Amino acid sequence: MPKRVLTGTVVSDKTDKTVVVLVERRVKHPLYSKIIRRSKKYHAHDEGNVFKEGQTVRIEECAPISKLKTWRVIEALDTHRTPEAHTA
């Protein structure tokens, strides 16, 4: 069975060797047929603490590492971006 791969944005990198990734998906409402956004946060393993808040990353499913971590970061999809950089 293949491992699931998701794309999301790092929203927290405060814990050691862990990042929290927010994954958003767009679904159609069953009654009103409007496209709505659903989001979920995943704790992913980051061995070298290299991924920072604001980066877009790809994560893949893996064997459980801890109580919350069952995902591992594969790669970063873009350069490091912070909200402060866009205000200047």
- Give pLDDT, residue 83: 53
- Domain map of the chain by residue range? 1-47+61-75
Q: For 62-80, write each residue's pLDDT tens digit.
A: 999 999 999 999 999 976 5
Helix (H, G, I), strand (E, B) or coil at 84: helix
Closest CA to 52 of 5, 25, 88, 20: 20
- Name the band, by pLDDT with cuts 50, 70 and 90, for residue 87: low
Q: Is the pLDDT of residue 1 over 80?
A: no
Instruction: Give domain 1-47+61-75's CATH superfamily.
Output: Nucleic acid-binding proteins (2.40.50.140)
